[in-house]
C-alpha cells in the first residue's frame, strides 16, 4: 500500500512539473512584453498573421506601414501561424516595367511590409504583385497589373475565402 502511494505521489509530481514546462503563450512575448520579430529562425513567431495590417499600422501603431501581407502555403489558410510560408516576401513590379519594390520581413513569421517612405506609388499606379523566395526568385505572381495603389492592405482582400476578386491567401506555390 505504501509503495502504491509513493508511485502515485511521484506520478502527480512528475505531471505537475511537465505541465509547468509548456509554453504559456502562442504570441512568443519577450521578457519586456514586446513581440518577438525574428523571422530568420525555424520556429514560428506570431504577430497577427492573416489579419489586415493597415487596420493598425496605417496611422496609429508603430511602425506605420504603406503595405503589409502574410505569405501562406495554403490558399484557404485561416488567420494565424498554421500554413505560414517561411522565408518569402512580396515584391511589386510597377506597370512601367522598371520599378521593383521589395517588402522587408515584418513582425511574425510570414509577414512582410513596406513603409510609406519606401515608395511613391499613387492610387492610380498599376502593379503586379509577386511572391519571392529568400534568394529573390519569383515563386508566384498575380495577374499582370491587376493591382493598384489603392489596394495596399493585402490581407484585407487575401483572406481564407478571398474578397474583392482575390482568390484567397497570398501563397508561395
Where along the chain do its domains lie?
A: 54-171
pLDDT for the residue 151:
83
Give which of 149, 173, 160, 161 is closest to 79, Cα–Cα: 160
Computed over every residue of the chain, the mean pLDDT equals 78
DSSP annotation of 89 reads E
Give which of 79, 82, 71, 67 is closest to 132, Cα–Cα: 71
pLDDT in tens, 72-97: 999 999 999 999 999 999 999 999 88
Read off the pTM: 0.71
DSSP annotation of 127 reads E
pLDDT for the residue 42:
53
C-alpha cell at 96: 512601367
Tell me how far CA of residue 96 lies from CA of 67, 102, 126, 128, 144, in angstroms.
20, 16, 9, 11, 12
Contact 109, 98 (CB under 8 A): no
pLDDT in tens, 14-34: 333 333 333 333 333 222 233
C-alpha cell at 110: 510570414
pLDDT at 120 over 70: yes
Phi and psi (nearest 5°) for 107? Answer: -60, 130
Those residues whose C-beta lies under 8 Å from the C-beta of residue 68, and which sit 6 or more positions away, are 53, 54, 57, 103, 106, 111, 112, 113, 114, 153, 154, 155
Give residue 116's pLDDT band: very low, low, confident or very high (50, 70, 90). Answer: confident
Reading phi first (left if > 0) and then psi (alpha if -120 to 50, else beta), residue 96 is in alpha
Q: How far apart are CA 131 and CA 149, in angstroms?
A: 17
6 CB-contact burial (10 Å; exposed 0-12 / middle 13-18 / buried 19+) = exposed
Amino acid at each position: 500500500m505504501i509503495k502504491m502511494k509513493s508511485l502515485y505521489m511521484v506520478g502527480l509530481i512528475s505531471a505537475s512539473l511537465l505541465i509547468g514546462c509548456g509554453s504559456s503563450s502562442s504570441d512568443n512575448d519577450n521578457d519586456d512584453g514586446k513581440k518577438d520579430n525574428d523571422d530568420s529562425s525555424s520556429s514560428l513567431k506570431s504577430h497577427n498573421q492573416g489579419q489586415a495590417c493597415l487596420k493598425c499600422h496605417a496611422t496609429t501603431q508603430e511602425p506605420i506601414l504603406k503595405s503589409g501581407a502574410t505569405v501562406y502555403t495554403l490558399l484557404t489558410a485561416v488567420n494565424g501561424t498554421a500554413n505560414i510560408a517561411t522565408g518569402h516576401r512580396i515584391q511589386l513590379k510597377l506597370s512601367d516595367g522598371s520599378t521593383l519594390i521589395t517588402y522587408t520581413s515584418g513582425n511574425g513569421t510570414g509577414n512582410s511590409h513596406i513603409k510609406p517612405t519606401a515608395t511613391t506609388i499613387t492610387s492610380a499606379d498599376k502593379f503586379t504583385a509577386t511572391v519571392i523566395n529568400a534568394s529573390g526568385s519569383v515563386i508566384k505572381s498575380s495577374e499582370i497589373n491587376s493591382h493598384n495603389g489603392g489596394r495596399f492592405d493585402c490581407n484585407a482582400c487575401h483572406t481564407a475565402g478571398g474578397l474583392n476578386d482575390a482568390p484567397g491567401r497570398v501563397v508561395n506555390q
